[in-house]
Chain A
Amino acid sequence: MTAEIILFWLFAFLTCAGAILVAVSQNVVRMAFSLVLTLGSTAVLFLLLGADFVGATQLLVYVGGTLVLLVFGVMLTATGPFTRIKSSPADAILSGLIGVVFLFIVASTVTAVPWVDSEDGNDISQKIKIGTHTKSAEGGFNPAQQGNTTRPLGLSFLSLRADRDLKLGLPSELSAESNTAPVVPGASVVMPGVTPPPKSSVPPSTGYLLPFEIVSVHLLVVLVGAAYLARTKRRATT
């Protein structure tokens, strides 16, 4: 357990250090690369929590996509060799104030939430184990070692909620939901795909298929819009 705690503190520190560097430094490109540090370390924190899909998405979207675009923008619009931004003391005071207020909101939210399971009243932090050092499963690796970490997530996009319909263990990215999800009494660990419908009054959930498809169509609209805006306006009048 100690190794991942050390890693957690290391990357938590790097996340914060990068964020502070973004605010403190005056060179735009250095700011962008401090942002790389922050976002990359956040991705590592996700990976440490076992949320590898979220971590990889964080890397792909923010570091590999948004930041490259940002640096491109800076490089192509800069007037001098190394663009500098100097903020006035009033700005610094104002943004500092906003930052402190935001920190207060986050801290009060975290402390206000009772981190106990609503069903049995046990401390959640004892239940969600970060990368539990388990013995291998019978006949080889346990599911986590095989890397079966995102399957419940994928199944829920196919209208099969592993946490509600199958009553299986969850990777950490879904575990927050499992604590509020209704319990299906009597259901035990079963095979995926051949699940008999749980005998309970709770109707089977629809999963996230509809939101997923709506988001996909939304992205398509955004793509078409971007292509329309970016195309050359050659034939304005015929």
Chain B
Amino acid sequence: MDTLFAANSLAEFLQALLTLVGIPISAETAYLIAVVTHVALVVGWFGLPAGLFIWAERKISARIQDRLGPTRVGGKFGWLQSLADGAKLIQKEDLVPKDADGLMFRMAPYIVVVASLAAYLALPFSDGWTAVALDTGLFLTLAVLSLEVLGVILAGYSSGSKWALFGAIRESAQMVSYEIPMALCALCPIVTAGTLNLNEVALLQSGGIWNWNILHPFNFFAFFVYFTCATASCKRAPFDLAEAESELVAGFLTEYSGFRWSLFFLAEYASMFLVSGLATVLFLGGWDDGLGILAAIKTASPTGVGSFLANAIGLLFFLVKASVLVCVQIWVRWTLPRLRIDQVMTTCLKYLIPISCFLFAGTVVYPLVLATMSGKTSIIGQPAGERLVQPKKAAGVSSAGAKNESHLRITATGTEGSSR
């Protein structure tokens, strides 16, 4: 189970703390509390950005269009507007069209929501602050993100409406195509770091802005290609062909209303934050402050309060970076015109895929060429290999595949076998 929920550390912390206070609890109870806390945190963060960024989108779009946007609800700046919208949407009637396949029509929003929620499983918010620490972190995230398209197809197909079907076919063609360059560009920093574990990818970039992957010449361009594809995979303008209002009413959302419609939007904003968070971890140093201060704090006090505070501040850095990227997505949506479907497909198949293939090949060859020419695998910042052999940084959390034997998993079987 510890592979499913990395809850043991919190459980042990709780147990130690409560025993200290004088309320001893059993290991199982502490474990349960820890698991519930982790789940609540992830689900809470899944719901929160939707409300936050919908409000931000309304305000930013209004300013871009020289309007004011919401101003009344909740006093200043209309900051409670999303909550009011949510309350309104829940009260609406839950309609199912006569021609629709009722069961699947009702099920579709949940598939989309579950897919984008499950993608948060492996996303690290700060050093070791992740729901599930996995060696296959990025792989699992991309796998789960590819499920979202099923919900969209289901929604379009089961609606029994031609607009919805057109929207779904467009959307699925777009999402399936854009997955390829997106995954290829996400692989570039993975090749640089040498691990699929998102926590380790971010740790390898800690210690200063010169270590960030975005300063790697190929990763720099990969970042922009990745971000374009991520915007497309979130069905955001200028790639929102699936719900092109002027052509398709609202695409696969045509027949949805009320709560089910709002679920689609919840999922959209959650995946916007997710792909931005992924970009932050892969390219922008994750929770690193760019000056090496947090890394220095963690080196100075690898356990205890100092490390915890450094992690908490790192969390803030991570959220700010990811939120800025979400705001860029919003900014792009309200300033660029929508592409035609053939333009969308041409952009992907004729330009983005060759570019990302080139970038991927370049990232693989780059350190080899540099090493032969200058004997060093990077120009700016430390080579990844040197960052690995730094003294242990974080509080026990694997410092980027640290060179100790805990590196490889030692289970009961292994230790039994070796002690024989």
A residues apposed to B, CB below 8 Å: 1, 3-4, 7, 27, 29-30, 33, 36, 40, 47-48, 50, 52-53, 55-57, 59-60, 63-65, 67-68, 71-72, 75, 81-82, 120, 127-137, 139-152, 154, 162, 166-171, 175, 178, 183, 187-193
Cα(A17)–Cα(B415), bound, Å? 39
B286-345 CB contacts (< 8 Å) to partner A? 303
Q: Are B150 and A143 in contact (CB under 8 A)?
A: no
Q: B interface, how many residues as a size bin?
A: 35 or more
The answer to whether B136 and A53 touch across the interface, beta carbons within 8 angstroms, is yes
Q: Are the C-beta atoms of A60 and B139 separated by less than 8 Å? A: yes
Tell me which residues across on chain A come within 8 A of B373, comparing CB atoms: none
Which of chain B's residues 373-420 have a Cβ closer than 8 Å to chain A? 392, 394-398, 403-418, 420
> In the complex, which residues of chain A have a beta carbon less than 8 angstroms from the beta carbon of B132?
147
The residue on A at minimum CB distance from B128 is: A141
- Contact between B135 and A71, CB atoms less than 8 A apart: no
Which residues of A are found within 8 Å of B406, using beta-carbon distances? 137, 142-143, 146, 148
Query: 5 closest pairs, A vs B, by CB?
Result: A140-B396, A169-B414, A64-B146, A147-B133, A60-B143
Bound together, the chains give a CA A4 to CA B28 distance in angstroms of 13
**Closest beta carbon of chain B to A29's beta carbon, Å:** 6
Query: Is B55 positioned at the interface, with any CB of A under 8 Å from its CB?
Result: no
- If A141-B396, A146-B133, A168-B408 touch, whether A178 touches B4 (CB-CB below 8 Å) is no
Q: Establish whether residues A68 and B176, one from each chain, have CB atoms under 8 Å apart when the complex forms.
A: yes
Contact yes or no, B2 A169, CB < 8 A:
no
* A166 pairs with B147, CB closer than 8 A: no
Q: Which residues of the partner chain A approach B142 to less than 8 Å between Cβ atoms?
A: 60
How far, in angstroms, from A140 to B6 measured CA to CA in the complex?
A: 12
> Is A149 touching B417 in the complex (CB atoms < 8 A)?
no
Q: Is the CB of B150 within 8 A of A146?
A: no
Interface string of B135-169 (1 = CB under 8 A from A): 11101101110110110011001101000010011
Complex CA gap A123/B31 in Å reads 28
Contact B143 A59 (CB under 8 A): yes
C-alpha spacing A193/B6, complex, angstroms:
27
Asked, given contacts A4-B1, A29-B101, A68-B150, whether A148 binds B417 with beta carbons under 8 Å apart, the answer is no
Q: Inside 8 A of A67's CB, which chain B residues have their CB?
A: 150
Does B134 count as interface, using CB distance less than 8 angstroms? yes
Q: B147: which A residues are within 8 A, CB to CB?
A: 40, 59, 63-64
* A141 contact set on B, CB distance < 8 A: 6, 8-9, 128, 133, 396-398
Given A148-B409, A149-B409, A169-B415, A133:B4 Cβ within 8 A:
no
CA distance A131 to B32 in the complex (A): 15
B413–A151 CB distance below 8 A:
no
Q: Could you list 20 further interchain pairs (A-B, Cβ under 8 angstroms) beyond the known A141-B398, A149-B134, A189-B418?
A: A3-B1, A29-B104, A33-B107, A33-B150, A52-B135, A56-B143, A63-B146, A75-B157, A133-B27, A139-B303, A141-B128, A141-B396, A142-B406, A145-B3, A147-B137, A148-B408, A150-B136, A152-B408, A171-B409, A189-B405
Nearest B residue (CB) for A128? B413
Distance to closest chain B CB from A109 (angstroms): 23
List, sorted by A's number, 27 A–B pairs whose CB atoms are closer than 8 Å. A1-B1, A3-B35, A4-B4, A29-B101, A52-B140, A53-B139, A55-B140, A56-B139, A59-B143, A63-B147, A68-B153, A71-B154, A72-B172, A75-B153, A129-B411, A131-B2, A135-B12, A137-B396, A142-B8, A148-B197, A148-B408, A149-B3, A169-B412, A169-B413, A171-B411, A178-B413, A189-B410
Which residues of chain B are within 8 angstroms of A151 by Cβ–Cβ distance?
Answer: 135, 407-409
Write out the residue numbers on chain B whose beta carbons fall within 8 Å of the beta carbon of A72: 153, 172
The yes or no answer to B66 lying at the interface (CB within 8 A) is no
Complex contacts, B254 vs chain A, CB 8 Å:
none
User: How far apart are A210's CB and chain B's nearest CB, in angstroms?
Assistant: 21
B99 at the interface (CB under 8 A from A): yes
Residue B231, interface by CB 8 Å: no
Asked whether A143 lies within 8 Å of B410 as measured between CB atoms, the reply is: yes
Task: Assess whether B206 is interfacial by the CB under 8 Å rule.
Answer: no
**Is B363 among interface residues, defined by CB-CB distance under 8 A?**
no
Closest to A120 in B: B420
Interface centre among A81, A139, A142, A146 (most CB of B within 10 A): A146
- Min C-beta distance of B392 to chain A, whole Å: 8
Contact of B133 among A59, A145, A188 (CB under 8 A): A145
**Residues of the A chain whose Cβ atoms lie less than 8 Å from the Cβ of B199:** 146-147
Select A68's contact among B2, B9, B149, B411, beta carbons within 8 Å. Answer: B149
The residues of A that contact B111 with a CB separation of less than 8 Å are 36
Do B197 and A47 touch across chains, with their CB atoms under 8 A apart?
Answer: no
Segment 1-51 of B: residues with Cβ below 8 Å from A: 1-4, 6, 8-9, 12, 27, 31-32, 35
CB nearest neighbor in B for A193: B403
A81, A140, A142, most chain B CB atoms within 10 A: A140
Q: How far is the CA of A143 from the CA of B332 in the complex (A)?
A: 42
Residue of A40, A134, A145 with most chain B CB atoms under a 10 A cut-off? A145
| Cross-chain contact B134 with A147 (CB below 8 angstroms) | yes
Return chain B residues, CB-CB under 8 Å to A60: 139, 142-143, 146
Contact status A33-B411, CB under 8 Å: no
A133 touches B1 (CB 8 A): yes
Chain A residues lying within 8 Å of B150, measured Cβ to Cβ, are 33, 36, 63-64, 67-68, 71
Do B397 and A169 touch across chains, with their CB atoms under 8 A apart? Answer: no
> In the complex, A139→B132 CA distance in Å?
19
Residues of B within 8 A of A50 (CB): 3
